[in-house]
A and B are shown apart, each in its own frame.
Chain A
Amino acid sequence: MGLAKRIIPCLDVDNGRVVKGVQFVDIRDAGDPVEVAKRYDEQGADEITFLDITASHQGRDTTVHTVERMASQVFIPLTVGGGIRKLEDIRTMLNAGADKVSINTAAVFNPEFVGEAAARFGSQCIVVAIDAKKVSAPGDADRWEIFTHGGRKPTGLDAIEWARKMVGLGAGEILLTSMDRDGTKNGFDLALTRAISDAVIVPVIASGGWEIFNISSMGSVLAARMQYWRQVFFTSDSTPFPKQKRSWPGRALKYVAESAPNGDDQGSRSR
């Protein structure tokens, strides 16, 4: 027992609506983020991550409002990411009720921003999101690089070195997305996750590879899915998906889960 490994549903939100992408394209509408978050909360999610992919400034106001509504109804930790570029953006989201913010592109262009943010608001609320893609040739030693802009732009930065640097500057958590796996339904990239987790002291949350299920049956399915992840992800090298999943129609929702490099399932908070 002891500390439970976290399962964290991740909502991609555009203009106040949950959307879904496969490999960061083919976006589809999937409902009200607050309702979706409440369902997750009821079903035993350990936290909620809210990734704002809204491009416009007007849309940002919608996001703040959505975060406020969510924080008034969901009493588990809430991380908000997407478009966090200035200290003021962090203050706005924390005031709206977010517990943590996730910094991605801004960290790449201005690493010191992570240091300033951690100094001002505390490391506990600064998550650095890392989008990594494998760049080593098959057969060579594994090497992953940081990509920005939804995986389209390479930066030349080595993912492991970058993670170390971010934690050195004050990141309290790493949200790691494998751009090779994101949306492919092939599960998490465990080699990448382990390499990063071994390199830093702070918790590493792995993302990439998601499940598809019918939103109408979300209640019962969610609890089962979370239990499934707890059992499978933390105990085996591969992350096979259950067969019946492939026949489930409807919406896709992404999970992220805390890495447990050598780990076993250390228990669930769900009753």
Chain B
Amino acid sequence: MHKRLIIFLLVLISVSCVPACTLSAPVTSDGSVPTMTTLRVWSQHDLTDQSRTTSVLMQQHVADFEAATGISVEYEQIAWDQLAPKLALAVQSGGVVPDVVETGRQHIPTLFHVGALAALDDLLAAETWVAELDERDSQSCIIDGHRYCVANLVRGGITYYRASAFPDGFPETHSAWLDAGARLQAEGMYLSTFFAGRSYAAIEWAWAPWIYSNGGRIFDEQGRPAWATPEVAEVLDYARTLFARGYLPARIITGDIPTGELPWIEGEAASFRGGTWSFLYVPNLREGIETDTVRVTGGLRFNDGSAYVFLNNESWIVPTGARNPTAAAAWISSLMQPDFLAAWSKAQFGIPTHPAAQALPDFDTPFYQQIMSILREQGRYMDRSPYYVESMDTLAIAVQEILLNPELDIQQRLQAAEVEILQRYW
């Protein structure tokens, strides 16, 4: 009896191991690997949310793609800030990766560095639209002469201001900002509000454009941090002054992204540094623009330097190890068709990278013409670094400490942050 029980247990264990040992690509009876009929897509858009134009458009696009290609789309919604980390984790841990993923420009160097990006040159070789994309695509997606992504639309930082608070127009220089701050403070208003927390996004939106305008950099040509410079220190000292004088709300230093929007929404701030996409999240912004009570402008000029605004994009990539790269290329190609691309870009308040889509009537409005002009003239992608997020987060933490502690030596703190990254990665 015992012997039978033991044999039964051993057989059970052996049988349970068999499926694990035979996990591999399915093979047909003639020995060939069957054509893949599914496409796994990771994107931030929620297909169940019918109140958002992007969701409705994406849902329709999935249906159209399936009907046109016969490929079944397995769509997975993943939060925007989790798309790149999840993909990097999946690739590095040897897990199952999707076939095509939406991401942003800032994550491309890191994803490339961890080996998560497949080259698209061969996959897209037959597509004529590739050669027609504007330079915002190639600046982002061509690395070492090879294409690793397709940037379908660009978005950027932009400043919204209440026309009534700035009767003589919005101040364009850092010294004029101080004057305006003093005047508005007397009227009981903050000069501006924006996200200034301890995340890389704060550097991208808030501080980097000012640092660039002041002649500074975030990373050097090799992607190493270049923060401990007088140009960066001067900008942070200026930011400290704005907070110390109460021209900016102190809560935005420790708050999250919505906290940076609140003083504007609550009517406490005269201007708001957000993005072209802020319409999606900030109430009454669209109405304000339409009634001309709210206007848009670009960046701030430091010490007679040029004004810059943060530039980002939506990019589509095919991960290393994707099971169906051909279908992924077809998916990307379908996204780039001018009519869809125009509608898709407009829904996200972005600018398409394909000139044929840009030329469509969707973008022939005063608002779009203005933001296209701002992004064209002032838009600047962030410097590249293979250790982008960890470096930028380290800088953001240092900046937060500098802003919160007026006694802290700016140059020394920047130096310490720089050394931390250099010692670790370089």
Q: Do A and B bind each other?
A: no
Please report B residues at the A interface, Cβ cutoff 8 Å.
none
Residues on A close to B: CB < 8 A? none
